Amino acid sequence: MGNRLSKIYTRTGDDGETGLGDGSRVAKDDPRVEAYGTVDELNSSIGVVLACPIDDTRIMSCLTDVQHDLFDLGGELCIPGHTVIEPSYVERLETTLDALNDTLPPLKEFILPGGSMTAAHCHLARTICRRAERRVHSLATRENVNPECIRYLNRLSDLLFVMARVLARADGGTEVLWHSARVRGQLDD
């Protein structure tokens, strides 16, 4: 385990660089920093979902595990050459995704983000997850990245979508369906 922070500010980042977990220094807008920074943002957004009232213990437990996973994933990205995320992480997400999705009616239209406050926060986490996936993929085009990280984020965004659907229904809200005919009707006027 690395050093614990006893002092929060170090002034070492004032010149536009930051330290990676292996001690090397890179620009704060380096693709690696963008990748793990977006994973951190995703983790924070999941914290917002968890701060909402959720009666479903499966979702609470899963999202708590996901926060730990994302900390592992961010650490892996912060330390070049370090590997933590394994296929079992992705398999665990898939198992939960399948169980939650089995309770939902099939989709016939696209869903707009919303339905309830908790579901809307979950949709926001989903979109941040997609951005994190893009940032990690972008990093992988330049440097060696564990492909399980990208698979994990891809599956997590799917899981967050399904969770948002479950949460909208559990909160007494409804899923807001996109009405494509509404747009065409406005264009014809």
111-165 confidence digits (pLDDT tens): 888 888 999 999 999 999 999 999 999 999 999 999 999 999 999 999 999 999 9
CATH 3.40.50.300 is right for the domain spanning 24-188:
no
Average pLDDT on 70-95 reads 96
What share of the chain has pLDDT > 90, as a percent?
65
What is the predicted pLDDT for the residue at 147?
A: 97
Q: Which of 27-41, 79-93, 97-111 has the highest mean pLDDT?
A: 79-93
* Position 181 pLDDT exceeds 50: yes
How far is it, in rounded angstroms, from Cα 131 to Cα 110?
Answer: 20
Encode pLDDT of 22-34 as tens digits. 777 876 778 999 9
User: Per-residue pLDDT averaged across 86-112, rounded?
Assistant: 93
79 Cβ neighbours under 8 A, 6+ residues apart: 20, 21, 22
Residue 122 has what pLDDT? Answer: 97
pLDDT (0 to 100) of residue 189: 46
Give the pLDDT confidence score for residue 185 in this predicted structure.
Answer: 52
Residue 20 has pLDDT above 80, yes or no: no
Task: Supply 58's token pair.
Answer: 């499966």
Using the predicted structure, report yes or no on whether residue 9 has a pLDDT greater than 90. Answer: no
Quote the CA–CA distance of 132 and 104 in Å, as a whole number: 27
C-alpha 115/C-alpha 159 separation (Å) is: 17
Task: Look at 66-75, 140-149, 174-183 and tell me which has the smallest mean pLDDT.
Answer: 174-183
Q: Where are the beta strands (DSSP E) in the chain?
A: 17-19, 25-27, 111-112, 176-177
Q: Is the pLDDT confidence value at 186 over 90?
A: no
Handedness of CA 29, 35, 36, 42 (dihedral sign): positive
Statement: residue 17 has pLDDT above 90: no
